[in-house]
Amino acid sequence: MTLYVKNMVCDRCVMIVRQQLEHLHFEVKDITLGKVDVSPEPDAHQLQDIASAFQILGFELIDKEKDQLVEQIKNKVIELVHYSDLNEINESLMHLIADRLDKDYAYLSRLFSDVEGITIEKYIIQQKIEKVKELLEYGELNLNEISYKMGYSSSAHLSAQFKTLTGLTPSKYKKSGSTRRNPLDKVK
């Protein structure tokens, strides 16, 4: 049986979900961000136990198909933005996500906007800015290198988007020394 899990956004989340399911005596056959195949199929009581255990850890079982699809979109965005070099992707992220989910882009866009109250494009930008904050804090790359890695046409374009969303330029953000990053599952 496939379980869909909300707020599963990183490798640590995958590890925690796996451990929790194994603790509840389920075999994890496959696990990716937001999705777990388990055996044997849990009954209604066991699903409630799983949901309760997940809730304590900040996760949530998703049972509605539309909510599952929105969570899959979020996980694909997080996977692409935080775990790949965007400069190597030669097509728009929105269409790449639609291809990977094997769904019509217009349908995904409407669904996402209806459920989340923002467009997929804005969600992608917000995730990109969170990744930029992380890269700025590490201090290993300069702004030109960060803008290239994140798939921006220029550092000026990145700076403008960054300031629009944070109220600070990237250099002022870096100089402030305070971390104002948001958890990936809280980005909206």
pLDDT of residue 174: 87
56-78 residues labelled b (16+ CB within 10 A) or e (exposed): eeebbbbeeeeebbbbbbbbbbb
Instruction: Identify the H or E element spanning 129.
Output: helix 120-138
Record the pTM.
0.74
Averaged pLDDT for residues 17-32: 96
The third-level CATH classification (topology) of the domain covering 2-63 is: Alpha-Beta Plaits (3.30.70)
pLDDT of residue 175: 85
pLDDT in tens, 131-161: 999 999 888 999 999 999 999 999 999 999 9
Structurally, at CATH architecture level, domain 64-188 sits in Orthogonal Bundle (1.10)
Q: Classify residue 163 as exposed, middle or buried by CB count within 10 Å of its CB (0-12, 13-18, 19+).
A: middle
Domain with CATH 3.30.70.100 in the chain: 2-63
pLDDT of residue 179: 66
Beta bridge pairs of residue 60: 6
Q: How far apart are CA 4 and CA 174, in angstroms?
A: 37
Tokens of 38: 């388990």
Domain with CATH 1.10.10.60 in the chain: 64-188
pLDDT of residue 186: 63
Q: Count how many Cα atoms sit within 13 Å of the Cα of residue 67 in the half-sphere of its side chain.
A: 10
